[in-house]
Amino acid sequence: MKDDKGPLPRAEAEEYASWFRALADATRIQIVSLLARRREPMTVGEIVAASGVGQSTVSHHLKILAEVRFVLMDKQGTASLYRINDNCVSCFPTAADVVMGNPVPAAPACD
């Protein structure tokens, strides 16, 4: 039986920490919000135009968001299209509950 009074296992804590780090920037929050609200893949250029942030900055933030799989990238010809990863984003509130020791509902796998 798992000890609910002890800390999270290290590997689980590191996974959640990577998620929180990925969202610890206002520009990344804006990008996640934009992709989640649009509900359709967008190019870097479209994200730049919608966010008012420079191309290199958007690309940098998309790379970080893709590393934790909040954002997925699909190639279409020479274009890269970015979309929200609904599975991972839906897991995020559950992650906060887990870290705080709150009961959590069954959630889909985050991949």
pLDDT tens digits for range 15-73: 888 888 888 899 998 999 899 889 899 999 999 999 999 999 999 999 999 998 999 99
**Residue 39: its pLDDT value, please?**
87
* Total domains present in the chain: 1
Task: Tell whether the torsion through CA atoms of 49, 53, 55 and 59 is positive or negative.
Answer: negative
Domain containing residue 17: 10-99
Domain contains 67: yes
Domain contains 111: no
Domain contains 83: yes
Domain contains 108: no
Say if pTM beats, i.e. exceeds, 0.85. no
Domain contains 75: yes
Domain contains 2: no
CATH number at residue 18: 1.10.10.10
